[in-house]
Amino acid sequence: MTYIAKPKFHHPGLKKNALGYTHRDYEGKISTLCAGCGHDSITASIIEACYELSIEPHRVAKISGIGCSSKTPDYFLGNSHGFNSVHGRMPSVLTGANLANRDLIYLGVSGDGDSASIGFGQFAHSIRRGVNMTYIVENNGVYGLTKGQFSATADRGSKSKKGVTNTDNAIDLVAIALQLGATFVARSFSGDKSQLVPLIAAAIGHKGASFIDVISPCIAFNNHAGSTKSFDYVREHNDAVNRLDVLVGRDPIAVDYAPGTIQVVEQHDGNKIALRKIDADYDPHDRLGAQTFLARHAAKGQIVTGLLYVDPDAEDLHEHLNTVETPLNTLEADTLCPGSAVLDKINASLR
Amino acid sequence: MPDKKPLSSVNDFVVRFANVNGSGSASANEMFARAILRHGVPVSPRNIFPSNIQGLPTWYEVRVTEAGHLGARGGVDMMVAMNPQTWDKDVAGIEPGGYLFYDSTKPMPSTKFRDDITVIGVPLTAITNSTYTDPRQRQLFKNIIYLGALSALLDMDPKLIEQLIGEQYKGKEKLLSSNVHALHLGRDWALQNLKCPIGLRVKKSDKVGDRIFIEGNSAAALGAVYGGATVCAWYPITPSSSVAEAFTAHCKKYRHDPETGKAKYAIVQGEDELASIGIVIGASWNGARAFTATSGPGISLMTEFIGLSYFAEIPAVIMNIQRAGPSTGMPTRTQQCDIIACAYASHGDTKHVLLFPEDPAEAFEFAAAAFDLAERLQTTIFLMLDLDIGMNHRLCRPLKWDDARQYDRGKIMTAEMLEEGRDFGRYLDVDGDGIPYRTYPGTHPTKGSYFTRGTSRDRYARYSEEGTVYADNMQRLVRKFETAQDLVPRPLQANAERPTKYGVIYFGSTSPAMDEAIGLLEARGHQLDRLRIRAFPFHSSVASFLAEHDFVYVVEQNRDSQLRQLIVNENGIDPVRLVPIVHYDGTPITARFIAKAIGDHQDHLKVTPLRKAVS
């Protein structure tokens, strides 16, 4: 159904952002996912975050692998280039794209099958390298397109729709991302837009490898009793460490919250994140602490959400490689080719 | 005295060094080859090495060839036997009348030698141990000492070797003088104790000219620098790793901004070949020139992405430094065995462009051209080298670059063109050559964006599973491949002196052996026209060549005559007329092998050789 064009008309009074774009300018084609799919809520949050940040839509490159989640880049930012690549290989394609042009915003969209199974290696290595990207996993614990097999993020003991119990241990991508050195790590829930939108906005503003695991129930194959990725289960077991606001171009104003419960983090893009702490002891700048906190809560069956770790001074792959500021894809023979005089010298040295 | 007359030859013989891997012999052996070049005499050296870091046997063979035959010859005239592990085999491999050079410090039983060769013992260990105390120095200088002894035995000019040592250790005076000292230790011992020179001699000549001495992998990497590659992603695999390493070294020299010191390139060592080709595809999709270098097993891993490159039409350059397969095969032995695997890589109907350079000079040219072709054709271009070209120093013509040359970035629709209202269909064939326009991500706020996918889509990049839409696209891809025929390097034909019904097709590293074999065959009275194929898809001249000859030999270095299969398949010709000549034991093909195989077949055909005119 993606070939069905969405009508372009909209209410003349529709709100505009700083660039003069309306919400509609950040939309894509009509979703072909099941009605009520968690992934569509994530799509809506991405649209909202990009609108709020006043990003020029065409300056985003959206790259995905294969699966239900990887189809979603067609449903947002219709004026951006998208790349629905190969199963599990979004991270390498995104890494290459990022190397070619450091000036665009890179949004990697993947799923739990795509990132925790077939693409687990690429997930890990792109995080390790510190590619400047926002890596979103739309995590439903199940293979939807192939009709309901367990994925590697399905919890041990959880039941499939057909009643089969999963006996394999689950991979927690958030824990892995922390261990691998991601400099922005968060978890959220597709049904919690107020938490998710600012997380996405903050991740986009972060320079370095940002990772967000979004629990996104599959209403067709993983929303039943016995599933640990259902709407009901996640709502009951969600334990948010903080809520945040992204403050675009203005100072944070702590109005409703008691002093000491708000922490402001300034990011590379100049915008500030105001973290409203729910768990008073939680420190989002402590990687080791985050790992322990996560493990302790997982043992209690709680799903920790919020911004778990951020390093506002992170470096990205381009800094590691010391590449020029000019995007590599704009360089031509005049700057890339050493020329015939140099070649003559090389020839002379080879005799 | 040997019971066979000792071999006697000036500037035409083969010396083979048998060493232990990791003993530091490689640089001394290479210096030997370079020293002969400095005499104005062409050489063709080859490393024969194990898949090992230290301890296993390794050989270095130098063919000294005034006539300029750069293929492997076969046979050994002088063995420098420095490895006890392979002694018996090494001694057995010497041609009758040949020479054995060995370390005579420890006496050897006479049964360890042969009667029909000249045995030359030099007490290398004794000389080394009386001069040096440090074990590492003993090991390294022993190599230079045998080099010195050989220089006396082969009548080489020591000044030329000293000059080479001077260039190698420029600015490191201590190393320089100690190496020169070691050289003369060996040379003086030989002059005082042995009959010098022996029957094999190096005499100054002028047959090298302005040619250069370079490894194919280094030349290909330099081609990538000149061709404007900015992104390189790779995973270490023999025999391709030195491409990426050379690219890194060249970029460090020539690709840093003089003011800021920043790099005008990005090199990533991927976690595997999948990531390497993924990075290349991502970078190329985004408008950078990108490549990877790999070998057979890497190609197998990359095939899914190669299919994406073909179908979604994304440029990519893959340098395949072929080694003997299948599976892990013989990682340090040469073959031309990935022709079919690359030509039709990936599932579904696919076809890919292959380039076959014959030597480092062409590796440089074709590497640079590959980036133009990849962007013009928006697909994967394979640069098909092999271990023989890639990892050996080869004498070849100097590298050339035209400063007026601009990169062909292919059909790119710019923001200005979109503003003008040009119709943009990502898969729309506007020029009839099968090649559509593409836009780079981030080009225009409202025009020119599209969704790249490996699934079927229409001319405007909209998802479609309609049969007619799918077939329309597949037909366009065929048209594009036809366009490629006229863009890739054309075959080169060389005809025999007299008209003949017999032809021979060959490619890549077979070239020097083939050229030499033609001479041997002509001497036997066999006339053959030659066609060197330099690319796939095949130019129409390949079909003409086949039509003009009754029998065409296809010489290649794999078991299943893969190029022949490809020719038969793509030209729909009678396979009986294409005679396979295959060499696939992992050693480089030789002129002797080719001449014998073709000569025997000609005899089998009862071809009466034309008698050479008696002068």
Task: Say if residues B381 and B370 touch (Cβ distance below 8 Å).
Answer: yes
**Distance in Å, alpha carbon of B523 to nearest chain A alpha carbon:** 33
Task: Say if residues B116 and B4 touch (Cβ distance below 8 Å).
Answer: yes
B253 → chain A, closest CA residue: A338
pLDDT of residue B155: 98
Q: Do A83 and B462 touch (CB under 8 A)?
A: no
111-140 of A, contacting B, C-beta below 8 A: 121-122, 124-125, 129
Identify which of A61, A129, A328 has the shortest CB distance to residue B441: A61
Q: Is A85 on the interface with B (CB under 8 A)?
A: yes
Provide the edge-to-edge strand list for the sheet that holds A262-266.
Answer: A242-247, A272-277, A262-266
Identify which of A58, A89, A323 has the shortest CB distance to residue B262: A323
* Chain B interface test: which of A337, A344, A347 (most B C-beta within 10 Å): A337
Q: Do B263 and A78 touch (CB under 8 A)?
A: no
Cis upstream peptide for B239 (omega within 30°): yes
pLDDT of residue B615: 45
Q: Is A110 on the interface with B (CB under 8 A)?
A: no
Give the separation between CA B246 and CA B233, rounded to whole angstroms.
13
Chain B residues within an 8 Å CB radius of A58: 441-446, 449
Provide the edge-to-edge strand list for the sheet that holds B353-355.
Answer: B266-269, B231-234, B290-294, B316-322, B380-386, B353-355, B535-536
Q: What is the mean pLDDT of residues A107-126?
A: 97
Please determine, for the modelled complex, whether the ipTM score is greater than 0.90: yes
What residues have CB less than 8 Å from A187, skipping those under 6 apart? A174, A212, A213, A214, A215, A303, A304, A305, A306, A308
Chain B residues within an 8 Å CB radius of A106: none
Q: Do B282 and A100 touch (CB under 8 A)?
A: yes
Give the separation between CA B483 and CA B476, rounded to whole angstroms.
11
Find the angle CA(B249)-CA(B255)-CA(B260) to the nearest 5 degrees: 120
Q: For B103-144, how does the pLDDT look when each residue is reduced to its tens digit (9 = 90+)?
A: 999 988 989 999 999 999 999 999 999 999 998 888 889 999
Chain A residues within an 8 Å CB radius of B222: 346
pLDDT of residue A249: 63
Chain A residues within an 8 Å CB radius of B277: 92
Task: Say if residues B58 and B176 touch (Cβ distance below 8 Å).
Answer: no
| Structure-token match 């040295």, residue found | A349
Q: Is A65 on the interface with B (CB under 8 A)?
A: no
Confidence tier at A9 by pLDDT (50, 70, 90)? confident
Q: Do B278 and A129 touch (CB under 8 A)?
A: no
DSSP A175-241: HHHHHHT-SEEEEEETT-HHHHHHHHHHHHHSSSEEEEEEE--BTTTB-STT-SSSHHHHHHHEEES
Confidence tier at A199 by pLDDT (50, 70, 90)? very high
Identify which of B213, B264, B451 has the shortest CB distance to residue A82: B451
Kindly report the average pLDDT of chain B as a whole number: 95
SS3 B299: helix
Q: Is A19 on the interface with B (CB under 8 A)?
A: no
Q: Do B308 and A332 touch (CB under 8 A)?
A: no
Cis upstream peptide for B197 (omega within 30°): yes
Identify which of A61, A78, A96 has the shortest CB distance to residue B290: A96
**Distance in Å, alpha carbon of A69 to nearest chain B alpha carbon:** 14
Rounded CA Rg of chain B: 27
Q: Is the pLDDT of residue A206 over 80?
A: yes
Here the tokens at position B103 are: 């370390």
- For A285, other C-beta atoms within 10 Å of its C-beta total 12
pLDDT of residue B318: 98
Work out the angle between the directed axes of helices A287-299 and A173-180 (0-180°, nearest 10): 160
Q: What is the mean pLDDT of residues A119-124?
A: 98
**Distance in Å, alpha carbon of B395 to nearest chain A alpha carbon:** 9
Q: First and final CA of chain A: distance in angstroms? A: 64
* Pairs across A and B, CB distance < 8 A: 234
Identify which of A94, A321, A325 has the shortest CB distance to residue B282: A94
Chain A residues within an 8 Å CB radius of B271: 121-122, 124-125
Chain B residues within an 8 Å CB radius of A85: 278, 281-282, 308, 452, 454
Give the separation between CA B295 and CA B322, rounded to whole angstroms.
5
Give the separation between CA B412 and CA B432, rounded to whole angstroms.
16
Find the angle CA(B328)-CA(B333)-CA(B337) to the nearest 5 degrees: 70
pLDDT of residue A265: 78
B444 → chain A, closest CA residue: A58
Helix (H) / strand (E) element for B471: namely: helix B467-485
* b/e code B471-483 from CB counts within 10 Å (16+ = b): eebeebbeebbeb
Chain B residues within an 8 Å CB radius of A122: 271, 274-275, 278
Chain B residues within an 8 Å CB radius of A329: 230, 283, 286-288, 440
pLDDT of residue A273: 78
Identify which of B212, B287, B463 has the shortest CB distance to residue A3: B463
DSSP B375-430: HHHTSEEEEEEEHHHHSSEEEEPPP---TT------SB--HHHHHTT----TT--S
Q: Do A83 and B254 touch (CB under 8 A)?
A: no
* Chain B interface test: which of A24, A54, A75, A89 (most B C-beta within 10 Å): A89
Q: Do A332 and B228 touch (CB under 8 A)?
A: yes
Q: Which amino acid is at B61?
A: E
Give the separation between CA B289 and CA B317, rounded to whole angstroms.
8
Here the tokens at position A159 are: 């039941």
**Distance in Å, alpha carbon of A200 to nearest chain B alpha carbon:** 21
Chain B residues within an 8 Å CB radius of A337: 225-226, 228, 401, 405
- Segments of chain B scoring below 50 in pLDDT: 613-615
pLDDT of residue B254: 98
Q: Do A96 and B284 touch (CB under 8 A)?
A: yes
* Chain B interface test: which of A58, A62, A320, A344 (most B C-beta within 10 Å): A58
**Distance in Å, alpha carbon of A239 to nearest chain B alpha carbon:** 35
pLDDT of residue A252: 46
B34 → chain A, closest CA residue: A351
Q: For B360-389, how does the pLDDT look when each residue is reduced to its tens digit (9 = 90+)?
A: 999 999 999 999 999 999 999 999 999 999
**Distance in Å, alpha carbon of A307 to nearest chain B alpha carbon:** 29
- For A161, other C-beta atoms within 10 Å of its C-beta total 16
Identify which of A85, A340, A351 has the shortest CB distance to residue B403: A340
Give the separation between CA B374 and CA B385, rounded to whole angstroms.
17
Q: Is the pLDDT of residue A259 over 80?
A: no
Find the angle CA(A54)-CA(A59)-CA(A60) to the nearest 5 degrees: 90
* Chain A interface test: which of B231, B279, B347, B413 (most A C-beta within 10 Å): B279
Is A60 exposed, middle or buried, given 0-12, 13-18 or 19+ CB atoms closer than 10 A?
A: buried
* b/e code B268-305 from CB counts within 10 Å (16+ = b): bebbbbbbbbbbbbbbbbbbbbbbbbbbbbbbbbbbbb
Task: Say if residues B592 and B564 touch (Cβ distance below 8 Å).
Answer: no
Q: For B491-512, how does the pLDDT look when each residue is reduced to its tens digit (9 = 90+)?
A: 999 999 999 999 999 999 999 9
